[in-house]
Structure 1
Amino acid sequence: MSELFGSAFHADPYPTYARLRAEGGIRRVSTPDGSVAWVVTRYPDVRAGLADPRLSLSRDNAGAGYRGFALPPALDVNLLNLDPPDHTRLRTLIAGEFTPRRVHELTPAIAAAAGELLAALPSGEPLDLIGSFAAPLPLRVIGDLLGVPVADRERFRGWTTTLLAPRPEQPPSAARDAVAGMHGYLVDLVARKRAEPGPDLLSGLIAVRDDEDRLSEAELVSMAFLALWAGYENLVNLIGNGTRALLAHPEHLACLRAEESRLPRAVEELTRYDQPLQWAIRRFPTREVEIAGVEVPIGDTVLLGIASANHDEEEFEDADSLVPDRDPNPHLSYGHGIHRSFGSRLSQVEATTAFSALLARGVRAAVDLADLRWQPSFRNRGLVELPVLLG
């Protein structure tokens, strides 16, 4: 099914998702990385699959057809690759850093960072919002949270782009080199934090590792990898995709500028409407399981379509429309069940703060939105750049 991952799909995947839902909601396909996978596209099946303990995240349960990033062992033992009880243990250790109180304490710093970034940008001159705002803001926030030195942060942009949005001319070794670069850097950062701890998340996890022996060294490095990667790339695309959606609906943009109190609910809708993470992390049945009336064999790769589920017309009225005041809005952008993202609250606060700052400054498109280019990735949906004019 080549149209699933072609250029037209990258530009607008939602018609393809609608056709897949209409044709049964599950399809066996070949992905661009050479894997064979079952893609699941209807809301009830995706939601059930996210919480189904028979669908394992552990690569140990993968069949011979699975291919993926060849991560070093020290990057592979994180929440995206573990089942209970190890998943439960690690999630409990890190969840304390993302409580409502902790996120509330971070909010002034996020607002200050957004304000400083926008204040440094010119008015009335075309600029790329991705490179000048959407990327630097989450990089700064997650960098502060983990204690990554400012001088080192831009390197992560290059590594994540190589992994998630590879260029056609990119050599086959580029992804492997990017992973090796991230791994080496994080091992070095852990050593530096151990020698000179600070009031950051990574130093706190090191203390748990060294004093209470509840984290292995590999788990420590891998959790840092997950926080940097997931906490950064998804926010870049959420800000970029959400801004593009508002620019395409100027009536909603004007209403939100006039009534900013509506913004938190609007951000939830923007998260549903053009979800950056198209698929949940791959899963592998530990025994034969029925999904959408089809028996999926043990060890096969299952991709649960979050973006498709978020546009399922059987679950959401006017599913393909942007409805800023949508309520209820049971989107699956942050997962469901025990694997729901522990950083969802921070992500929403960060996105809300970013959009609030943009609304206050004023933003309009500098090009025809139909001409925007999307990253050639089937896993993540994000713009290559977003030319805008700030007020």
Structure 2
Amino acid sequence: MTTTEPRTYPFSAADKLNLDPIYAHLREQEPLTRIQLPYGETAWLATRYEDAKIVLGDPRFSRAAALDHDEPRLRPNNPQGGLLSMDPPDHTRLRKLVAKAFTARRVEQLRPRTQEIADGLVDRMIEQGGPVDLVEEFALPLPITVICELLGVPYVDRGDFRVWSDAFLSTTKLTPEQVTDYIDKMFGYIAGLIAQRREEPADDLLSALIAARDEHDKLSEDELVRLAAGILVAGHETTATQIPNFVYVLLTHPEQLAELRADLDVVPQAVEELMRYVPLGVGAGFPRYATEDVELGGVLVRAGEPVMVSSSAANRDEAVFNDPEQLDLTRREATHLGFGHGPHHCLGAQLARLELQVALRTLLTRLPGLRFATSAEDVEWKSGMLVRGPQRMVLTWQGVE
């Protein structure tokens, strides 16, 4: 790399859902900049939309190569393996095994059940009366229930795997020893479920994956455990965080919220805009390593150098989005990068869209006058995690005494 001193990254501590203004400066003046994370080697950071798409989608940038490097990261542990550490064709082989469960058509078939779950949660909220913590009473149980039923994981065990899931997203919330312990417990739990399903197969995704392993030899036992654990964690964590994120943004943009309430048919497009607008991650995503010299953002990236992408910055690119710092729920411009791009585009994107659509429509329809119980300043935010969002967000609505 060049001898220019790298910038310490992240540039600042996560501040609610506010994106550090330095990203806008970098897009304009230094679209590819050198950064140093708390752990691992120095990397390049891409902040422009088109550069981000190249890094995420071009086969000249490899995820699997990270296994041979001290990859830049926000935490001391470096849990590697699974889909996120693979390139095609291995990545394609495993992804194909589960992709059919997450097609737009298959996911749409889950809408009635997802709506039933959402309504049941709101029924309970109304019955107990407000104020209520949206995170605990709605945002977490909705996607957890859906992914448990889809994968074949007992919902009654949610208390355990919710705790263990933090190990996959923790930066400083957990100690390195806790991270290792929780990941081992999650893998052990999944291995136990696999053993049960081998004895008593069911009509669920886990049984289908076991059949792919045992009958068709399409994945190893370790791949089976990691894949199932990854689906369980990814299948609820980010959506459970984005539901309160989206509600927070809407409640702090009352004019946009009023327009959405007046026309709920805009909800699908609103979800896309909120995905663009909300900077979910506290930093850039996983690094990709250049497999050959590549010119990117006016800089020559040498073979073997890692490049990280800030999707949040790319989603605010003025060259792609008109007035990108403004929330516009009717925006119909370029596709956002909130679900990634290329081979590692979020496998569960369609399921997340469905859950977020159902969540917003249900909350706005059934809880008129939804608002903060006190004020936005009383929202408690997560800390020490790879994602940002409310830890606790207490809301109330009309008719609550």
Structure-2-length-normalised TM-score:
0.89
Specify the SS of the correspondent of 2:275: helix
Within 5 Å, which residues of 2 pair with 1:68-107? 69-71=77-79, 76-78=81-83, 80-107=84-111
Within 5 Å, which residues of 2 pair with 1:324-335? 324-335=329-340
Residue 167 of structure 1 deviates from its aligned partner by: 5.2
**CA distance in structure 2 between the partners assigned to 1:95 and 1:65 by the alignment:** 28
**CA distance in structure 1 between the partners assigned to 2:228 and 2:349 by the alignment:** 17
Give the residue type in structure 1 aligned to 2:29. E
Q: Check whether the contact 2:17–2:389 (CA below 8 A) recurs between aligned residues.
A: no
Number of equivalences: 386
Within 5 Å, which residues of 2 pair with 1:180-329? 180-277=184-281, 279-329=284-334
**CA distance in structure 2 between the partners assigned to 1:125 and 1:42 by the alignment:** 43
Range with greater deviation from structure 2 (243-252 or 123-132): 123-132
User: Per-residue CA shift, 1:184-208, capped at 9, x if unaligned?
Assistant: 1111111111111111111111111
* CA gap 1:279/1:144 in 2 versus in 1, 3 angstroms: farther
Partner of 2:22: 16
**CA distance in structure 2 between the partners assigned to 1:121 and 1:166 by the alignment:** 33
Range with greater deviation from structure 2 (83-92 or 109-118): 83-92
* CA gap 1:324/1:66 in 2 versus in 1, 3 angstroms: closer
Partner of 1:374: 381
**CA distance in structure 1 between the partners assigned to 2:345 and 2:117 by the alignment:** 27
Give the residue type in structure 2 aligned to 1:311. R
Residue 171 of structure 1 deviates from its aligned partner by: 3.0
**CA distance in structure 2 between the partners assigned to 1:328 and 1:21 by the alignment:** 19
Residues 1:63 and 2:69 aligned together = yes
Give the residue type in structure 1 aligned to 2:122. L
Partner of 2:13: 7
Q: Where in structure 1 are there 5+ consecutive unaligned residues?
A: none
Counterpart pick for 1:45 among 46, 51, 71 = 51
Give the residue type in structure 1 aligned to 2:386. R
Q: Check whether the contact 1:5–1:32 (CA below 8 A) recurs between aligned residues.
A: no
Q: Check whether the contact 1:61–1:284 (CA below 8 A) recurs between aligned residues.
A: no
Partner of 2:3: none
**CA distance in structure 2 between the partners assigned to 1:185 and 1:61 by the alignment:** 25
Q: Where in structure 2 are there 5+ consecutive unaligned residues?
A: 1-6
Give the residue type in structure 2 aligned to 1:271. M
User: Per-residue CA shift, 1:138-170, capped at 9, x if unaligned?
Assistant: 1111111111011112222222234424556x4
Give the residue type in structure 2 aligned to 1:117. L
User: Per-residue CA shift, 1:50-92, capped at 9, x if unaligned?
Assistant: 11101111145543454564437xxx132x1111111122222
Counterpart pick for 1:352 among 352, 357, 362 = 357
RMSD: 2.2
Q: Check whether the contact 1:55–1:285 (CA below 8 A) recurs between aligned residues.
A: yes
**CA distance in structure 2 between the partners assigned to 1:308 and 1:290 by the alignment:** 20
Partner of 2:372: 365
Partner of 1:383: 390
**CA distance in structure 1 between the partners assigned to 2:172 and 2:87 by the alignment:** 33
Residue 127 of structure 1 deviates from its aligned partner by: 2.1
**CA distance in structure 1 between the partners assigned to 2:14 and 2:238 by the alignment:** 22
Specify the SS of the correspondent of 2:215: helix
Q: Check whether the contact 1:279–1:305 (CA below 8 A) recurs between aligned residues.
A: yes
**CA distance in structure 2 between the partners assigned to 1:130 and 1:87 by the alignment:** 33
Q: Check whether the contact 1:54–1:286 (CA below 8 A) recurs between aligned residues.
A: yes
**CA distance in structure 2 between the partners assigned to 1:92 and 1:51 by the alignment:** 18
Residue 298 of structure 1 deviates from its aligned partner by: 3.2
Q: Check whether the contact 1:239–1:351 (CA below 8 A) recurs between aligned residues.
A: yes
* CA gap 1:211/1:384 in 2 versus in 1, 3 angstroms: same
Q: Check whether the contact 1:269–1:322 (CA below 8 A) recurs between aligned residues.
A: yes
User: Per-residue CA shift, 1:103-162, capped at 9, x if unaligned?
Assistant: 122111111111111111147632221122111111111111111011112222222234
Specify the SS of the correspondent of 1:284: strand
Q: Check whether the contact 2:40–2:70 (CA below 8 A) recurs between aligned residues.
A: no
**CA distance in structure 1 between the partners assigned to 2:303 and 2:33 by the alignment:** 16
Q: Check whether the contact 2:46–2:309 (CA below 8 A) recurs between aligned residues.
A: yes
Q: Check whether the contact 1:128–1:387 (CA below 8 A) recurs between aligned residues.
A: yes
* CA gap 1:172/1:178 in 2 versus in 1, 3 angstroms: same
Q: Check whether the contact 1:238–1:275 (CA below 8 A) recurs between aligned residues.
A: no
Range with greater deviation from structure 2 (90-99 or 107-116): 90-99
Specify the SS of the correspondent of 1:6: coil
Q: Check whether the contact 2:244–2:393 (CA below 8 A) recurs between aligned residues.
A: yes
Q: Check whether the contact 2:172–2:384 (CA below 8 A) recurs between aligned residues.
A: no
